[in-house]
Structure 1
């Protein structure tokens, strides 16, 4: 018969606080922290839930305060007036000179019309399309 003579380890409140502080860091996983401190991750989870957590005031209590789950906070959002409806686009004036671009790629065809007065905008748009 095999008898386990290994005694349980006892950890100080300062050590537990250090482990819990490492768990509270952004991006830290409990398993990785436990492995780094040569602890079982289930033990660290128990400490985070409060069982066997450090009782000393100061750093330990701050760490426990950081590990409490977030709570719902109700906020009132000011309502704004709904945006005014956009008037329908007017068809271009046939007397105005227009730039017409037509693209075909396979079965897809696109036709774009720009006023000559916005030729610079048309050139900028065309450069982006052709990239």
Structure 2
């Protein structure tokens, strides 16, 4: 007979177990399935690969109003008409500041040349 030491340090894995994340939509779907006549909470939990205690917690949260589907709300925004187009600002530019030990380099690049600035920055960072 072999005796297995479950608490031995050799038996432990090096990775900590990761917590599972369930979306609110999925939780509500499982809670809704539990509300069907003749539904088994343990059976639904087993079917979805979830511990039944978690499903019971979701049911409790749902009855307390904690687990609800939040609908995105529309927030109307009013914009005032601009007096000048945004491209008419000659002072708009891209500012890049690079700090190394005790040296700081500041580069100002015209906003119109954004693509060229991005290419230059890619080459500098390689």
Same fold per TM (> 0.5)? no
Tell me the TM-score range normalised by the shorter chain: 0.3 to 0.5
